[in-house]
Chain A
Amino acid sequence: MVEENIRSATTTNQPEIKSTTAQETRPAVETPREQEREFRAAPQMNTSPLHGLWALTNRDLKKWYKNPILLFMSLIQPVVWLGLFGKALNFSSFITSSIPPTAPPGTADTILKSFFGTTSYFSFLSCGMMAFVILFTAAFGGMSVVWDRRFGFMNKALSTPVARGSVAMAKVLQSVCRALITASIVLLVAIALGMVTSSFTIQGVLGAYAVMFLIAFGLSSLFVMLAIRSSDWQTQMAIINLLNLPLLFASNALFPVKIMPSWLQTVAKLNPVSYANDAIRQLLLGSPGQFSLGLDFSVLAGFAAVLAGISIYLSWKLLTK
């Protein structure tokens, strides 16, 4: 009994003794002088204005690809959209089945081609769906600015010498990366579900990616710019919802512009998403475009450059109060 008491006493004492000795011996083990030298010898720091840009971008991407549930959800979402929306809203069979059997063969194809520029509405929609997921990814990319402000990380980034413009541009870049990856998944799923690939060319696919990059860059800049001063996620959600649906529906993403009323056609013409869709369809499906490819690219490049410029300017202006 006595022995047991002693043993228990020593065992309970042991960790305490250990911790104190560890604390006391530490300065002796790592000699202070050595530590001093370590602290004094600051390395040459990278002072280029772009330093930290990739670190900040990668931080946001890490949160995405290291979170399996989030990654799975954001990748599965476009599949669900394509499967449900793309297959349920089948204009092809709608038109084909409503053609009287007496009509000459090929009538349905002619009608489809004149509406959609291709005989497969699903292919038409798949291209629109790629722009659609880019739009939504960009919109929610802006939200992470709000969270960073709310959880204090923004202040940490701003107290370092990293360029203010990099703080905003990192948000844009992470959103562009995510948008392009998600759009690629849409493309793969669309091919698997029956998108017409007969007019795919290497130049066409590369061109389509260039288009997607430009529209993703422009839209991400837009939403980051709108979020840059906000710390209120509810306002930000309202802004996203207010902009997303008009940008989607007042464009040629889901339906061709020519079946819209004329006022809506004008709106669609001002919508950069229309130009992205127009270019992607020309490049991937070989369909005749509403605009020339040159015009599509100029509009998209201009859109991306102007919005990126504004968001960099605003980040310098507004991130320091």
Chain B
Amino acid sequence: MSSQESVVESRSSPNGAIVKVENLVKEFGTLKAVKGVSFEIQEGEIFGFLGPNGAGKSTTINMLTTLLKSTSGMAEICGYDIHKNPTEVRRSVGVVPQEYTADEDLTGYENILLCADLYGIPRSNSKPHAEELLALVELSDAKNRKVSTYSGGMRRRLELACGLINYPKLLFLDEPTLGLDVQTRTAVWKYIRMLKAEYHMTLFMTTHYLEEADSLCDRIAIIDHGQIVKMGTPDQLKASIGGDVIIVGVKEADPDISSDIAKISLVKDVKKKDSEYRIKAEMGEEASPQIMDLIRSKGLHVTKISLTKPTLDEAYLELTGSSLREEETNKMQMMSQRVTMMRARS
């Protein structure tokens, strides 16, 4: 075990960053899809790009996987510059694209072998490896069926297996659970956790599902209008919107004891509306009994109390706003999205 660990160690770059992105910009004509993003991903972490549709998530992934040329800026993936060494970048990363890219007329097994051929992996290695990966994503039974007979979930799992065929250290997942049912989504989450835990893989995923980012990612960058608006661990992001919310209903509307409640050290903010106090506090579990005691000591009666923990939803909506997006999108993107959704539901 220790010898293996040292192998892993020696592969990492000195500061442990497997992805370094500086001021990456992409313009499509006059449309600025990505307006200069900078971030680093450490080896072994799951890094998530979270943002609404059209925020620039896929564009960034496509630039990092060298499918799109960036307008300006630089990025280094596994030590290779995306502009100077695109072929080496492609060789060292795995990509699970947003759309379904497997060939429908071939079987799952043929598809994964084809992928291996495109990476130049000799058949003597790719055949057993393909079997292993198909077993990993639980497709061994269906491996000799044509992909056109696969369900959306099976296709997504096949894409994942194809993305792993070249032994990547870094795996890009673009909206890995888009349009999937709950069972498949749970399974995909399980694989993602397993890749990190058992194979020490670094994962870069995009998503617009908050719960997904919250439960999977070690660090999240919230991206909107082509810019990173906030970056940190899920807990940091939640904390940034300011603690737990306690709502206490009191029988008597008078007297106003807001100022007394605000004196409790854990309480950060108190607002009163009619007979209800809306209190923002750190560590709500400890603050609420103190608040109850205080209210009782004033001779008042508590009618109800509720404690709400902040969710990523709130942090997210606070940062990106709640208005609906009507981003410009090109025909090509719409078409591929339609095809993806159609197949996911099949």
Contacts and interface: CB of A to CB of B under 8 A. Distances in A.
A153 B103 contact: yes
A38 B68 CA distance: 32
B118 interface: yes
A43 B199 CA distance: 17
A36 B198 contact: yes
Contacts of B110: 62
Nearest to B200: A36
Contact of B199 (A35, A52, A151): A35
A153 B119 contact: no
Contact of B67 (A37, A47, A155, A162): A155
A253 to B, nearest CB: 33
Best-buried of A48, A151, A157, A162 by chain B (most CB within 10 Å): A151
Interface string A31-49: 0110111111111111110
A52 B117 contact: yes
Contacts of B321: none
Nearest to A59: B114
Given A40-B7, A151-B339, A159 B120 contact: no
B125 A160 contact: no
17 contacts: A32-B198, A33-B1, A36-B198, A37-B4, A45-B91, A46-B121, A46-B122, A52-B120, A56-B118, A152-B101, A155-B101, A156-B101, A159-B67, A160-B119, A161-B87, A161-B88, A162-B120
Nearest to A22: B138
Contacts of A150: 335-336, 339
Interface stretch (B92-100, B251-259, B296-304, B305-313): B92-100
Contacts of A38: 129, 132
B118 A162 contact: yes
Nearest to B132: A38
A6 B97 CA distance: 47
Nearest to B165: A160
B69 interface: yes
Interface in B88-146: 88, 90-91, 95, 97, 99-106, 110, 114-115, 117-122, 125, 129, 132
Contacts of B117: 51-52, 54-55
A158 B97 CA distance: 11
Nearest 7 A/B pairs, CB to CB:
A46-B120, A55-B117, A42-B167, A156-B101, A160-B118, A152-B101, A51-B120
A55 B106 CA distance: 13
Contacts of A63: 103, 105-106
Given A39-B199, A40-B4, 6 more contacts: A35-B198, A45-B121, A161-B87, A162-B119, A162-B120, A231-B335
A159 B339 CA distance: 19
Interface of A: 27, 32-33, 35-48, 51-52, 54-56, 59, 62-63, 66-67, 150-153, 155-162, 231, 320-321
B132 A158 contact: no
Interface residues of B, number: 46
B288 interface: no
A26 B272 CA distance: 56
Best-buried of A54, A56, A162 by chain B (most CB within 10 Å): A162
Nearest to A55: B117
Contacts of B129: 38
Contact of A321 (B69, B122, B336): B69
B66 interface: yes
Contacts of B106: 59, 62-63
A160 B101 contact: no
B101 A40 contact: no
A40 B91 CA distance: 15
B90 A160 contact: yes
B69 A39 contact: no
A62 B68 CA distance: 30
